[in-house]
Amino acid sequence: MDCGVHACFKPIGVVEEGLYRPGERGAAKSRYEIVSVIRVFDEFVEGLDGLDEYSHIIVVYWMHEEREVKLRVKPWSVERYPEVGIFATRFPPRPNPIGITVVELLSLEKPKVKVKGLDAWSGTPVLDLKPYDYYDVVKNPRVPWWFKDRWEELRLKRDYRRVAPWLGPCVEGG
């Protein structure tokens, strides 16, 4: 397949059971309480060997239903937050709607990978799976005030300490 100067991507699988769309049963649940299932296509199943030795993985996917591109957004549409550039967020209306999420790996039963924390809908094409390891940990990253504000709000509201204790900033010795 010749794609010229543009990148070509071939999905390696699909999200069979994912995050609920707004208005669907269970849509208000936190993604960290939902078990998602990724089905890896037969031609790529051999690539799963050894992945189950990790507790967390990185899922790269195409937000295939996103049709809009915005270069500036208001985070979570919260009025008190500043309008920022799309690249200062993880929101979908991007020039290239690629999603990346760190998830907890619950089980691997080829060709299915069960995870918690995936923020992709059922039917979403999966482009890649990668192990999450020590090279991916940033202790106490700098984030803007509005992100900290939203984090604290959701951390308490959704009880992240219980449903996803691995989430959040970590500091040396913590």
Please indicate, yes or no, if residue 30 is contained in any of the structural domains: yes
HSE-up of residue 63 (Cα within 13 Å, Cβ side): 21
Residue 174's pLDDT is what?
47
Residue 3's pLDDT is what?
65
Residue 98's pLDDT is what?
96
* Structural domain span for residue 48: 13-137
pLDDT digit string, tens, across residues 42-63: 999 999 999 999 999 999 999 9
pLDDT digit string, tens, across residues 77-88: 999 999 999 999
Distance CA 58, CA 81 (A): 28
CATH code assigned at 88 = 2.40.30.70
Does residue 96 or residue 21 have the better pLDDT?
96
Please indicate, yes or no, if residue 173 is contained in any of the structural domains: no
Please indicate, yes or no, if residue 172 is contained in any of the structural domains: no
Residue 56's pLDDT is what?
97
Distance CA 166, CA 103 (A): 10
Contacting residues for 131 by C-beta, under 8 A, at least 6 apart: 51, 54, 56, 57, 58
Please indicate, yes or no, if residue 147 is contained in any of the structural domains: no
Please indicate, yes or no, if residue 150 is contained in any of the structural domains: no
Residue 20 has pLDDT above 60, yes or no: yes
pLDDT digit string, tens, across residues 5-19: 667 889 999 999 998
Q: How many domains does the chain have?
A: 1
